[in-house]
Structure 1
Amino acid sequence: MSTDEAVIRQASKNRVSANHQDWAKKERTVRVLYRRFKNKLAHGVFLLATLVGVAVLAVLITDIVQTGWKWLSADFFNNFASRLPERSGIKAAFWGSLWMLGVTAPLTFILGVATALYMEEYAPKNGFTRFIQLNISNLAGVPSIVFGILGLTLFVRGMALGKSVLAGSLTMTLLILPVVIVAAREAIAGVPNSLRQASYAMGATKWQTIQKVVLPYSMPGILTGTILALSRAVGETAPLIMVGAVTFIAFTPGYVLDPFTVMPIQIYRWISEPQTAFHELAAAGIIVLLAMLLTMNALAVFLRNKFQRRDG
């Protein structure tokens, strides 16, 4: 082979290699552009879905505030329900909701955290434990009316508690307890195992490790899950109707065995009335209920940030 032929062949190989590199570079560029297009498309779809939800919520809240704002006054909080709209108020329902929360919150927190600690720290890891965990997770998705039927059978009739605050609170505890257990278990499971081993290395017992290390580290997640679950309980209606929470009451509860009503039931009763004035009262009640929910959610964020800064 002559020198010229070798040079020509080498040049041809170089051109083929250069063409191949250019083609591979163009292919990579096309793939990158396609991936960027998909990312932008997904971002646009998700942003549109979020904006639709926010827009609908904003329209609803605006309409509710415009309709019910004029009814918010001292008389609205000091008056009981009445047949006359101008004399009707939310006092019994407001205090009934506070009573229910006051009983439900400690029961849910104590039982939920204790169960989560046992499942994560003490229970053996076997098939039976996994079966219990699966059932607890499934209970978090059971419709609320089922818990209402259970509360009616177990507390109202079985334990003869009647249509009382205690019966309603125990029913709501059963409703949100699986949510609190799941949230507490996830928070406790998120504690690094190295912290536990360091505590044991310092001579601490298991309970001392849980008390001084595990609980403080996981408390932000536990408190957040508990308060958000209680926020769900505030807005529930079906279970309390099943256990006999009355729709008309002219006094506030003074004891856990007294009859009671809550704000969602009072709002539902006003909505059922034909007069427009009662519908405006219902809008005012919704504003109060939303204010309570926002306060509880803000408290959850505050406590979470407070404990996180202290742990840091």
Structure 2
Amino acid sequence: MSNIQRNRNIDTAFKYVGIGCTFFGIVMLLIFIGNILVDGLTRIDWDFLTNLPSRRASKAGILTAWTGTAWILGLTAIIAIPMGVAAGIYLQEYGKKNRLAHIIELNIANLAGVPSIIYGLLGLEIFVRVMRLGGSLLAGALTLALLILPIIIVATREAIKAVPNSLREASYGMGATKWQTIWYQVLPAASGGILTGIILALSRAVGETAPLIVIGALAYVPFVADSPMDEFTVLPIQIFNWVSRPQQEFLVNGAAAIIILLIITFAMNGIAVYLRNRWQKKVSW
């Protein structure tokens, strides 16, 4: 057997191994989602969405959990998006390309892969103890903002880097300043990639549990948060609280809450894919 034939056989074998692994992953995902749907769909109704937590499974709802998730997502977005986009713009357009800049870029890329529990410990020390925010929504949002900030910075830089220099040079040739070029030409051209990165970062934040548990988020909150300084819970923590109980009724509640969380996550990822495809169709360079 010649080397060419051997390499072709290896390529063919690798292709079928890849197809088999992909099919196995899809089947397992469908089985998991199917079991969740079978267990939880019958429990989802208006009362489930609007009731407070209860020791009686049939009366328990996720009002405090999904409102807490909404609070956390909103505050995290308000904190992380301006900082992340501004940092990405500075590093890509204004920052000098020297050794220090290379070290900063390397550390930002590494921070995107740091386990979330580390950010929880950082948030516990800085926001809860030093700044005395306690186990509040604001402390949780600041912690999650640190978690997703590197992702937004990297996504912003990559989106801006994809804009061709010819667009900048044409703007400079018309007499525009550097900031005018960035604001009116570069950012609109890179907006699709930036929005995609932001939504994917927020979709990661919505499922995080470990950092929020570390800073003191509660498993049981009998009231809806009214301000950023209130105590809170979120859907992942409420799900963990229910599935850790031995009663079958609470397991059904956990499955229903998982469905709600999956809907939120899939919706956010779907929006990101839509924005990316729409942006790619508009790009003409």
2:41 match? 69
Check whether the contact 2:193–2:279 (CA below 8 A) recurs between aligned residues.
no
Q: Which residue in the other structure is 1:228 paired with? A: 200
Structure 1 position 32, deviation (Å): 4.6
The corresponding residue for 1:131 is 103
Asked if the contact 2:76–2:142 (Cα under 8 Å) also holds between the matched residues in 1, the reply is yes
Other-structure match for 1:253: 225
Q: In the TM superposition, what is the alpha-carbon distance from 1:116 to its structure 2 partner?
A: 0.6
Q: Which residue of 1 aligns with 2:244?
A: 272
CA distance in 2, matches of 1:208, 1:42: 50
Structure-1 residue corresponding to 2:61: 89
How many residues were matched structurally? 284
Alignment of 1:28-177 (within 5 A): 30-177=2-149
Q: How many Å separate the matches in 1 of 2:78 and 2:275?
A: 16
Identity among equivalent pairs (%)? 50
| Unaligned 5+ runs, structure 2 | none
Task: Output the TM-score relative to the length of structure 1.
Answer: 0.88
Q: Secondary structure of the residue that 1:87 maps to in structure 2?
A: coil
Aligned to 2:211: 239
The CA distance in 1 between the partners of 2:70 and 2:89, in whole Å, is: 28
The CA distance in 2 between the partners of 1:50 and 1:274, in whole Å, is 34
**CA shift digits 1:154-198 (9 cap, x unpaired):** 111111111111110000000111111111111111111111111
Deviates more, 1:105-114 or 1:116-125: 105-114
Q: What amino acid is the match of 2:77?
A: A
Q: Find the aligned partners of 2:149 and 2:176 in 1 and give their Cα distance.
A: 31
The SS at the match of 1:119 is helix
> Where in structure 1 are there 5+ consecutive unaligned residues?
1-26
TM-superposed CA distance for 1:224, in Å, is 0.8
Q: Which residue number corresponds to residue 290 of structure 1?
A: 262
SS of aligned partner of 2:58: helix
What are the superposed Cα offsets for residues 266-305 of structure 1, whole Å, 9 maximum, x if unpaired? 0000011110110111011100000000110111122223
Match of 1:3 in 2: none
After TM superposition, give the deviation of residue 310 of structure 1 in Å: 4.0
Question: Which structure has the bigger radius of gyration?
Answer: 1
- Counterpart of 1:170, as a letter, is L
34-43 or 282-291, which deviates more: 34-43
3-state SS in 1 of match to 2:133: coil
- 1:216 is aligned, of 184, 188, 203, to 188
2:152 to 135, 156, 180: 180
TM-score normalized by structure 2?
A: 0.96
Q: Given that residues 235 and 261 in structure 2 are in contact (C-alpha distance below 8 angstroms), is that contact kept between their aligned partners in structure 1?
A: yes
* C-alpha distance in 2 between matches for 1:59 and 1:48: 16
